[in-house]
A and B are shown apart, each in its own frame.
Chain A
Amino acid sequence: MEEKLVTLAHGAGGKQTAELIDSIFKSNFKSKNLTADDAAILNPPIGKMAFTTDGFIVSPFKFPGGNIGKLSICGTVNDLSCMGAKPMYLTVAFVIEEGFPLKDLEEIAQAMAKTADEAGVEIVAGDTKVAGKGQVDGVFITTTGVGQIMEGVDLSGAKAKDGDAIITTGDIGRHGCAILLSRDSYGLTADVKSDCAPLWNTIKSVLDTTKDIHVIRDATRGGVGTVLYEIAEQSQVGIHLDYAAIPVDDAVKGVCGMLGLDPLYLACEGTMVIFAPNDKAQAIVKTLNKGKYSKKAAIIGHVTNDMIAHVVVKTEIGTETLLPAPSGELLPRIC
């Protein structure tokens, strides 16, 4: 049987567009609020709301541990979660390359529905465009989300304080590593799955333990290292890391060793960095260690009033050095 492909007609707004929407999107996105009109009519959140958007391009669109669909839901769910907001509504916009297999699109839509369901968020509106061959790489997705901020929670990247403990909710760098391996550029094989996961339930469990949390940030592009520099700058504090305490999967370490990369700068898609008062840290980690996506959570460092805007690493030999600040494209170091 010949493979069915997305054609320019699917994006022309006529009968074929309606067919595509019905067969792939409506059949998967089952929210009662999913609109057939020009905009969704919704009940607003109570109290304060969080509102965010994110675009997703990833090559390859499918990777161990997920695909671009799952990623696009996790990304926006996690951005809302970082502000202490329960994700309520999402919109999704697709730009699809002419010739993209319909069965792959179906797989992407299924992953989106499943992930949204798990995070308890409704997909309420969508858009589909088809671009000519070569104008986009497979499929690009943009998701926009609204969430309701939990009462008593006040999170911001500017709120890290002297004495705060720094926690990662899991082992770091797995998404970046999985993508690097899927691209097969360096002939390496390893069993590394992306950590891509919707973390609202994880964050909720933390906020149910204590509302006394200063910063939560999603360590996506740029990895944990980039987040730490952002927070050090935004909060005007110093950050001290205990390198040995940072949870890193062995295979991720192996890949980094071979290519001269630092896992602190590989992207995560299901790992957050949390800054909280030191006396709350143990309880938070204990809660996290029981969670589905945060079994490897650990305290990796603390905040100080010296070395403002810098990240200092305690090394394996007990000395201190700066963590190099993030810069540009990650390039393997070989020769």
Chain B
Amino acid sequence: MLSKDIEKAKSIIMNYDGPPIKIMEVCGTHTHEIFKLGIRNILPNNINLISGPGCPVCVTPTEFIDEAIYLALEKNITICTFGDLIRVPGTSSSLGDARSKGANIQMVYSPLDSVEYAINHPEQQVVFLSVGFETTTPASCIAVRNAKNIELKNFSILGANKTMYQAYLALKDAADAYIYPGHVCTMTGMSELYKLRDEENVSGAVTGFSASEILSSLAYIISETQKNKPFVANLYPRVVTEEGLIKAKTLVENTMESCDSIWRGLGIIEKSGMKLKKEYIDYDARAKYDIPKIVGKPNKGCKCGEVLRGDIKPFECPLFSKGCTPEHPIGACMVSNEGACSAYYKYGENLWKKN
């Protein structure tokens, strides 16, 4: 039995017959849940859901993987990473391929686990692949700070941390409203979303990850869009507060500083990255190992950028399912379970055949 609220939200979504609305779910976990819940299959034609850039694996540039493989194979360094990154293609191979060649690649649940690993394996040099947005960055900061506190000499991070605000700005015209990433907002709070509404007319709703939260958020966005006035709402107040997580912000400010950052498919976005501050330079793998400048070469046919911007649907990319599949990904959007192309491929076959 579905709750009355879920029934009502479903009915608002399925019966929407107003002007076309473009909604972008920014977060990869939303993309994944929306597919898993079959929500796309009940959308009317005038609601266009676009999967945005909020999967750190998807937007991590080719050269980052190349750098990690260089450290693993050329410098014999143990790489600790979230499982998400194992199959991401670099210029010529993935970390999974490097593992087959003898690289020591350890999957961890938390950056803190990689510090533990380093403590327990003093004979190895350990590098944690620090990817992620505001939600994940504080965990990396805690790891680095803890390592510094105990003067751990065999641990460092290879950073590719990113912040969402500049990405929202870069994509502000891609949709009529955004399903904002609940767990990023947990950290940032609401102020930057108000700013986007007031200065850029960008609308959206902070959304949780349960079925009822996603459905009710869609219903809310549909109903608010009718009012033709920019809006922002926190629909995840049980987890997201107005001010965000102050202690996390302070921690990150003390440990990292902003830098320009390359987003796979989108290019360089100014001040959209985070790197370790000078006082933590000993824990920055790029400084520690003198990694040569690597220029990654993404596959030219790959249209991940256009997919991330919502300009095309995954199946409109010429490589989609023809050479680029979850088993043999070419573009980043096919690699991660949360990537738009992978989700379309795995869940959306009936959908893309229909369209």
Q: Is there a contact between chains A and B in the complex with CB atoms less than 8 Å apart? A: yes
Residues of A139-193 whose CB lies within 8 A of B: 185-188
Q: Given A186-B109, A187-B110, A334-B82, are A317 and B337 neighbors across the interface (CB < 8 Å)? A: no
> Across the two chains, which residue of chain B brings its CB closest to A334?
B82
Interface flag for A132 (CB, 8 Å): no
Complex contact A328–B346 (CB within 8 A)? no
**Which of A188, A324, A329, A332 has the most C-beta atoms of chain B within 10 angstroms of its own C-beta?**
A324
Bound-state Cα–Cα, A307 to B351, Å: 12
**Chain B residues, CB < 8 A from A322:** 346-350
**Chain B residues, CB < 8 A from A327:** 326-327, 346
Complex contact A334–B109 (CB within 8 A)? yes
> Across the two chains, which residue of chain B brings its CB closest to A333?
B337
Complex contact B37–A186 (CB within 8 A)? no
A 232-258 to B, binary, CB cutoff 8 A, 1 in contact else 0: 000000000000000000000000001
Complex contact B57–A335 (CB within 8 A)? yes
How many residues of A are in contact with the other chain, CB < 8 A? 28
Complex contact A321–B338 (CB within 8 A)? no
Residues of B161-200 whose CB lies within 8 A of A: none
Complex contact B211–A317 (CB within 8 A)? yes
Complex contact A319–B109 (CB within 8 A)? no
**Which of B6, B35, B347 has the most C-beta atoms of chain A within 10 angstroms of its own C-beta?**
B347
**Chain A residues, CB < 8 A from B6:** 317
Q: Given A329-B86, A332-B82, A335-B132, are A319 and B41 neighbors across the interface (CB < 8 Å)? A: yes
- Distance in Å: Cβ of B259 to nearest Cβ of chain A: 19
Bound-state Cα–Cα, A118 to B178, Å: 59
Residues of A282-326 whose CB lies within 8 A of B: 307, 310, 313, 315-322, 324-325
**Chain A residues, CB < 8 A from B348:** 322
Complex contact A331–B131 (CB within 8 A)? no
**Chain B residues, CB < 8 A from A307:** 350
> Across the two chains, which residue of chain B brings its CB closest to A258?
B109
Interface flag for A259 (CB, 8 Å): yes
Bound-state Cα–Cα, A186 to B211, Å: 27
Interface flag for A260 (CB, 8 Å): yes
- Distance in Å: Cβ of B111 to nearest Cβ of chain A: 10
**Chain A residues, CB < 8 A from B82:** 332, 334-335
Bound-state Cα–Cα, A333 to B326, Å: 15
Q: Given A317-B2, A319-B42, are A331 and B109 neighbors across the interface (CB < 8 Å)? A: no
Complex contact B346–A331 (CB within 8 A)? no
Interface flag for B39 (CB, 8 Å): yes
Interface flag for B271 (CB, 8 Å): no
Residues of B46-65 whose CB lies within 8 A of A: 56-57
Bound-state Cα–Cα, A186 to B112, Å: 11
Residues of B111-129 whose CB lies within 8 A of A: 113
Interface flag for B10 (CB, 8 Å): yes
Complex contact A333–B83 (CB within 8 A)? yes
**Which of B2, B36, B86 has the most C-beta atoms of chain A within 10 angstroms of its own C-beta?**
B36
Interface flag for B84 (CB, 8 Å): yes
Q: Given A260-B337, A316-B211, A322-B347, are A186 and B108 neighbors across the interface (CB < 8 Å)? A: yes
Bound-state Cα–Cα, A335 to B38, Å: 23
Interface flag for B87 (CB, 8 Å): yes
Interface flag for B107 (CB, 8 Å): yes
- Distance in Å: Cβ of A259 to nearest Cβ of chain B: 7
Bound-state Cα–Cα, A329 to B136, Å: 24
Bound-state Cα–Cα, A294 to B337, Å: 33
Q: Given A317-B37, A319-B42, are A331 and B107 neighbors across the interface (CB < 8 Å)? A: yes
9 contacts between A and B (CB under 8 A): A186-B107, A187-B109, A259-B109, A320-B38, A322-B349, A331-B87, A334-B82, A335-B84, A335-B131
A-side residues, CB < 8 A to B, are 185-188, 258-260, 307, 310, 313, 315-322, 324-325, 327-329, 331-335
11 A-B pairs besides A317-B39, A331-B107, A333-B83 with CB distance below 8 A are A313-B38, A315-B36, A317-B6, A317-B215, A318-B10, A319-B41, A321-B41, A324-B346, A333-B337, A334-B84, A335-B57
